[in-house]
Chains A and B, each alone.
Chain A
Amino acid sequence: MSLVLKKGNEVVGEAAIRSGCRCYFGYPITPQSELPEYLARRLPQVGGVFVQAESEIAAINMVYGAASTGVRVMTSSSSPGISLKQEGISYIAASQLPCVIVNIMRGGPGLGGIQASQSDYFQATKGGGHGDYRLIVLAPSSVQEIADLVKEGFQLADTYRNPVMILGDGILGQMMEPVDLGSGDVGELPDKPWAARGKKGRRSRNVINSLYLDSEKLEQLNLSLQKKYRLIAERETRAETYLTEDAQIVVAAYGMTARICKEAVDMVRKKGIRAGLFRPITLWPYPEKELRLAAQHSQAVLTVEMSAGQMVEDVRLSLNGEVPVEFYGRLGSMVPSAGEVFEEIQRISKKIGEVK
């Protein structure tokens, strides 16, 4: 294992190359611009294509085109830029094309700010574009996990012919941590008989399309998409738990916030409060069963986010009223401190004591 010290954004780029990604289309925006900058230099070295498009909308449609040919392709942006890409993302999902889309979130709404945030959870997991579609959404919480999840993301995208989103925040994108990038030997990429890259001796040509004017056919497409989404939901949930076995209070958080909460959990444990951490790694599909298991002996779940409360809705849906759910969040790129989360856990612990 050899470690290098690298920025999260650059690691997205390097991990993509080591996953066989050879096409990138994007438009710069803080706090993820180190990623296109890195790929502008690196992709030509490995025979790849880097295009800085004229806009985010152009970039996502270039992804649509490249993905149609079966190559591994990626785009990235930050919150306002991801909003611009939504139409294309819906088309790609409908056309069942694999690709990886990276959102290094910044504060919103509107043009917002350039610092970290987690307020695009709804957009990522509930469909920011139109129609009944889903993205597979992966949420790394360290630079090492960025490398691992980008690789996994490309595999999942190919396996299910579905767009995958890597959802990080501005801190994660800009921070440096030691990372093991692995060998870069992806082996043989999966066969893609559906790709539009010439007839190759077949009688009919492959068509990539998202337009179905016949309602019955459109319903059939939707039914097959829903079947695929159910399969993904059954098979592909991922989560990390920390000290949840005996936890009275389970803190649920993802990404950078989860690491802050882990520190808070250690702090309250020293005070004798039995707290634990539940960290979803897949935000869609949401690891509902894993959360129910982690919270089965708990008396309260505290969700912490850098938003006004978005993931907390999935926490409530997963627990379905079995455990009371509390929320703590900071807005507009303010980052909750471990001390604040510590206070919240203490407050809830006191409340539980009084109910008894």
Chain B
Amino acid sequence: MQTKNYSFHIIAALCLSVLGAAPITALFYNATPYSFLSFALAAAVAISVALIFSFCFPRDFSACHKGINKIFLMVFVVSGFLLCLLSALITLKDFWRLSAKVLLPRAPEFISLALILALLIYFGFAKREAFLKFCLIMLLPVSVTVVLLFCLSMPSMKLMNISVYSLPPVNKLSSHSLSYLLNIFVTATPSLILAHAVLPQIKKRTLLSGLLSGSLLLGIILLQALLVLGSGINYFEFPYLSAVGTLTFGNLFTRLDGFVYFMFLICAAAKITVCINAAKYLLSLIKNKNSP
């Protein structure tokens, strides 16, 4: 594959996989006005860690077949493999929950799961290029939807929901940041492994662009949910969906949340595909005797 030609595709895949199931769950636990600050802090730390990882992770595994490097890499590869599987399962579970409760509440549960499985099976058999093209095409409607819904929600937003008048207590900020950091880190790592290892010629700038654009879109989504619902976000199972659901145009157009369902499906499918591919790659490293 000519990596150079696929830079934008990879940025799109990374962006969508960073989003993953985060728009569904909105990542907030016991939200306070400090929540967005905590999220921004966590995102900055996660991107920094990801960049350090991309510098330190060896491109040539055959060069690390001895001593402490071998043990370290084996631990890293095994934990990375488990992380990818866990990440895929969590995303699948979150989408299934949404599907069973909101999209198809009256249908049997396996039908709700079939929604996303059909797409995943397709990507399983399709070429990698097909998935990358899919991500590139879908990034535009996803980004437009996120930005448009944010703009439409502006009249319902309350700045006081994120206004911080004094420095938050360190323990509050750190505990919040840690929970977001874990989520973002779990989200970003598989895509990073895949982009870094499967496409070794990829530039760091491409990695950074993908992660930043994903974090930016996620930031807009979380900001919208927090600005509209405030601390009431804690009462909603799917806060972003509820925040978008408050948008109405008269008494007739009252369910604009329908527009975000496709986004949930695409982001979840992209993330699971990336996770599975990353897990497959790491598994091949574990099995391969010449590797770590």
Q: Please indicate whether A and B come from the same complex rather than being unrelated chains.
A: no
